């Protein structure tokens, strides 16, 4: 087994075919096929389903290990550079949409000022999409909703954030100081879809209180929810940071609705490079400042989203 064989297998996994892997590696398809066949022979297992181009379960297991190995190799140069006080390399970081809107501009500004040789590769997605990418090694870090349930992940809480009822400032509800859980059942409400961690946590809280929501619509985008609420139609349950700092939408606290916990997750089996540690430090420094500036954010409660 050699590194090139593992690199080829990962390219097949990423592109779903030998031809796609060949283009990615700037080689010919026969070379890809030969590398995979030799790896399969050595391991005594079929790693790629030739009919579909997808990895077999055995191939997935090998690819998971290979990503970790690749991560270690990628960290060598940045770690050596860091020994000479030079932070270089690339960090692949995932951000949930609501946090990314305000965190990413601040992170890019700080990165350029403090570590100009460092490059960020940013992926915006949901917690349910980002966490598996950290486990498999395609992302070094991700800012997600906590707790992180996968035992392969380590987590560091960053902040707690209020969940609010977002309404148009023209809505009569905008005059209220607070809404109760029971009142939510009678409001023309839009929510995130089931399966999204933000929605699922709310459903658990409501179910424990004996409350059942019948939402007007499920919308899989906080940006779209904000736009619809701002137009004057309906109301929506949202994290406080999803509200625009200025405009036609306001947020009303919901009594009994616990805040969500947001944190950084990383793969516990892959020691972070110096470059990755630098990005973690930047994110934590930014968030520490934003606790006192951004409405709805507070320092993490020790009891929320504890590290796994």
Output the domain CATH number for residue 234: 3.40.190.290
Rounded to whole angstroms, the Cα distance separating 23 from 72 reads: 25
Do residues 196 and 129 touch, judged by C-beta distance below 8 A?
no
> Does residue 263 register a pLDDT over 50?
yes
User: Which residue in this structure is represented by tokens 């989203």?
Assistant: 305
pLDDT tens figures, 175-200: 999 999 998 888 888 888 888 888 88
CA count, 13 A, side-chain hemisphere, 202: 26
Lowest-confidence segment of 47-56, 116-125, 294-303 by average pLDDT = 294-303
| Judgement on whether residues 270 and 154 belong to the same structural domain of the protein | yes
**What CATH code is carried by the domain that includes residue 32?**
1.10.10.10
Rounded to whole angstroms, the Cα distance separating 22 from 213 reads: 51
| Judgement on whether residues 167 and 251 belong to the same structural domain of the protein | yes
pLDDT tens figures, 107-164: 999 999 999 989 999 999 989 899 999 988 889 999 999 998 889 899 999 999 999 9
Q: Which is more confident, 133 or 227?
A: 133
Q: Which is more confident, 231 or 119?
A: 119
Nearest CA-CA partner of 45 in 35, 34, 53, 56: 56
Rounded to whole angstroms, the Cα distance separating 3 from 284 reads: 35
| Judgement on whether residues 169 and 232 belong to the same structural domain of the protein | yes
| Judgement on whether residues 145 and 61 belong to the same structural domain of the protein | no
pLDDT of residue 3: 84
Rounded to whole angstroms, the Cα distance separating 56 from 159 reads: 39
The verdict on residue 78 lying in a domain is: no
Domain that holds residue 178: 163-258
Q: Select from 70, 96, 114 the last residue of a domain.
A: 70
| Judgement on whether residues 106 and 126 belong to the same structural domain of the protein | yes
- Token pair, residue 61, equals 């297991």
pLDDT tens figures, 68-83: 777 767 767 666 665 5
Q: Select from 39, 70, 101 the last residue of a domain.
A: 70
| Judgement on whether residues 140 and 152 belong to the same structural domain of the protein | yes
| Judgement on whether residues 136 and 270 belong to the same structural domain of the protein | yes
How many distinct structural domains can be found in the chain?
3
| Judgement on whether residues 287 and 204 belong to the same structural domain of the protein | no
DSSP annotation of 173 reads G
Percent of the chain with pLDDT over 90: 31
């Amino acid at each position: 087994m050699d590194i090139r064989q593992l690199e080829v297998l990962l390219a097949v996994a990423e592109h779903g075919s030998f031809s796609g892997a060949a283009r990615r590696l700037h080689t010919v398809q026969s070379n890809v096929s030969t590398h995979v066949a030799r790896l399969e022979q050595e391991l005594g297992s079929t790693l790629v389903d030739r009919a579909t181009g997808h990895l077999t379960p055995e191939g997935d297991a090998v690819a998971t290990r290979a990503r970790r190995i690749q991560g270690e190799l990628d960290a060598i140069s940045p770690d050596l550079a860091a020994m000479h006080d030079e932070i270089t390399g690339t960090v692949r970081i995932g951000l949930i949409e609501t946090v990314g809107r305000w965190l990413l501009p601040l992170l890019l500004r700080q990165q350029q000022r403090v570590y100009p040789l460092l490059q960020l590769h940013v992926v915006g997605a949901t917690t349910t999409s980002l966490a598996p990418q950290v486990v498999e090694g395609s992302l070094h870090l991700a800012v997600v909703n906590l707790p992180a349930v996968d035992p392969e992940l380590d987590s560091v809480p960053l902040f707690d954030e209020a969940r609010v009822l977002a309404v148009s400032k023209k809505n009569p509800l905008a005059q209220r100081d607070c809404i109760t859980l029971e009142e939510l059942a009678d409001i023309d409400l839009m929510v995130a879809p089931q399966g999204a961690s933000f929605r699922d946590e709310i459903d658990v809280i409501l179910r424990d209180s004996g409350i059942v929501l019948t939402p007007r619509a499920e919308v899989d985008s906080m940006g779209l929810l904000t736009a619809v609420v701002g137009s004057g139609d309906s109301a929506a349950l949202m994290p406080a940071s999803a509200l625009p700092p200025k405009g036609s939408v306001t947020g009303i606290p919901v009594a009994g609705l616990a805040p969500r916990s947001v944190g950084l997750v990383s793969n516990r089996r892959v020691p972070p490079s110096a470059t990755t540690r630098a990005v973690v430090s930047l994110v934590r420094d930014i968030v520490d400042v934003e606790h006192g500036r951004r409405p709805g954010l507070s320092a993490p409660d020790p009891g929320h989203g504890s590290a796994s």
